Homo-oligomer: A and B are copies of this chain.
Amino acid sequence: MQRWKATVSYDGTLFAGYQVQPEGRTVQSEIERSLAKMHKGGELRISASGRTDAGVHAIGQVFHFDSSLAIAPERWVKALNALLPGDIRITEVEAAAPDFHARFSAQKKEYHYRLLTCPQPDVFRRNYAYHFPYSLDHGALEDGMRMFLGTHDFTSFSSARSAVEDKIRTIYSFQMETSTDEILFKVSGSGFLYNMVRIMIGTLLDVGQGRIKPQEIGEMLKKKDRSAAGKTAPPHGLYLYQVTY
């Protein structure tokens, strides 16, 4: 039996999310179905670094699985991609130590959030960036992003439905890159709670529009109450970019 670490990219548009659930097409079930075919119908479970919601994309999601098939890493990539639908692509498969765990071994995660800032919507980016054609104060956004840096209790910035007990996380970096008609937010941290990136982005949009001051983010963090923070930004601008081990 060998443990394998796989990196996968997916377009979240047509998925009901990452995790297997009773209804709807999910990334996990598509990958498990492809692995089952390779294992002649033998059932096989995969474990990811974390789930992503419906509409959320991944450039570098990671999962692990165990297999007794003697296949070289590059062959795993080709064989799985030949069985997977076009909106899921395995980008790398590596042999991993028996105790490697895609979720518990993760040291750092990076998410990206794409904002489309031009006045008109763009049919080609409608599922890949959040169209937000309103004026934003970039200096205020920079100040707001700085408020998240470091170690905080992120209760206010996670869905009230989150079942995790420990809501303390560390944000290592939070940056934005501006191009002609987009703003790309890049945030990396020790881990992220349910909806955490989307609530941080939704709150930053309030900051950028001058509805709240950047400093108020500090008070929101202290309140440890979801209702203290801003709205949850929509899923289709969000990308799980990289998981570091």
On whether the beta carbons of A86 and B126 are closer than 8 Å, the reply is yes
| A11→B91 contact, CB < 8 A | no
Residues of B with C-beta under 8 A to A121: 86, 89
**Is A87's CB within 8 Å of the partner chain B?**
yes
Does chain B have a CB within 8 A of A88?
A: yes
Chain A interfacial residues counted at CB < 8 A: 16
**A180 at the B interface (CB under 8 A):** no
A58 CB to nearest chain B CB (Å): 9
Which parts of A1-20 form the interface with B (CB within 8 Å)?
Answer: 9-11
Known: A89-B120, A124-B128. 10 other contacts (CB 8 A): A9-B123, A10-B123, A11-B124, A57-B124, A86-B121, A86-B123, A87-B126, A88-B123, A89-B122, A89-B123
5 contacts between A and B (CB under 8 A): A9-B122, A10-B123, A86-B126, A87-B126, A89-B121
Which residues does A use to contact B, with CB under 8 Å? 9-11, 57, 86-89, 91, 120-124, 126, 128
